[in-house]
Every structure is written in C-alpha cells, then in structure tokens.
Structure 1
C-alpha cells in the first residue's frame, strides 16, 4: 500500500515521536510529531516532508494533507 511507502519514507528521514499516515490510494493524510520541527516555520516543516518523499510527491501521491507538530505542540493539542 502507498500509505506504507509514505510512512517508511517519512520515518527514514525524520525522527518521529508519532507518525500516522492514512488515505484512499490517491489522497493521503499525515500526522507527524517530531522535535526536528522545533523553531521551523510551517513552510519549512512541509519542505522537510516533501524532501523525505522525493519524487513520490510528483508521481505517486496526488494530494497529501499534513499536520506537523513538535512534541510540545502535540501535547498542548491532546492534553
């Protein structure tokens, strides 16, 4: 499944405290929690994910919705 490919690509490039990828085969959602996002703008965080996925973003993935948090941001959201 492409979800597994996306999951593996992100996990191999970013040290994640939490990672979830779901989708319908063309449209995907990813929640990534990593302290590597600390002091990075939203755009920089997205670029990190795009770099991890490489050419898959052009060829295999039609759309990817991303929610990208540091561990502290994640804790604030989830109590």
Structure 2
C-alpha cells in the first residue's frame, strides 16, 4: 500500500471527515522521482470544534505516528471545522515552492 493511501485510510478512519484531501507534493521538493515524503492534508471535521491549531495538529500526528516515524518528512496540515471550511471558500492555501536543500543545488554549495 502506498504511503498516501495509508494516510488517507487512517485519517478517514480516525476522524469524522466531511472532506479529506491528501496530496503528494514530493515532486515539488529535492527528492527522487516517485517519492512519498511530502504531503498536503486538508481535513474538515466537526471533531476539531473547540480545538486550537496545536490540538488539531497533535490529533493528526497521533493518528499518523507510524508514517511520521517512517518515510514522511513533511506534512502541510490544513484542518478545519465545517463552519471554518465554509468561511475559507472551501479551499486550502497553495503550498509554497521548495526553498532547496539539495546537495546538488548550486546556490547551497560553498
């Protein structure tokens, strides 16, 4: 099973999700082709009602502990209650471009 599929399955089971989007953004980073290391998660759930940003993130980290201990390097989390999702226009922000980090990046060599 792919890491992306495992993330989708665990979050779908771990939360009462009204919307769940998991995007593999590894191609936007300095990793080999077909990597599964960087993900953007958009999750809308009433489970987040009354929780601040930190508590929401901690809840997701707990569900995805195995993936985070393994090959997942980064998660961009966009976590909303249904009401917040409506106010957002039902869209999470775009992820920023990778700032480098590759040993092959000429700007990072000295």
Place the TM-score, normalised by the shorter chain, in its bin: over 0.9
Q: How does 1:1-79 map to 2 (within 5 A)?
A: 1-23=2-24, 24=26, 25-78=36-89
| Structure 2, gaps ≥5 residues long | 27-35, 91-110
Structure richer in helix, relative to its length: 1
Larger radius of gyration between Structure 1 and Structure 2: 2
Output the CA distance in 1 between the equivalents of 2:71 and 2:8.
Answer: 14
**Rounded Cα–Cα distance in structure 1 between residues aligned with 2:41 and 2:76:** 6
Q: CA deviation at 1:60?
A: 2.3
CA drift of 1:78 comes to 1.1
Higher relative contact order (CA 8 A, sep 6+): 1
Question: Distance in 1 between the 2:3 and 2:44 partners?
Answer: 20
Distance 1:68 1:53 in 2: 14
Q: Which runs of 5+ in 1 are unaligned?
A: none
Corresponding residue pairs, total: 79
In structure 2, the residue corresponding to 1:20 is in which secondary structure? strand
More strand per residue: 1
Q: Secondary structure at the match of 2:88?
A: helix
Query: Which contiguous aligned blocks of 4+ residues in structure 1 show a shift greater than 4 angstroms?
Result: none
For 1:30 and 1:6, locate their aligned partners in 2 and report how far apart those are by CA, in whole Å: 9
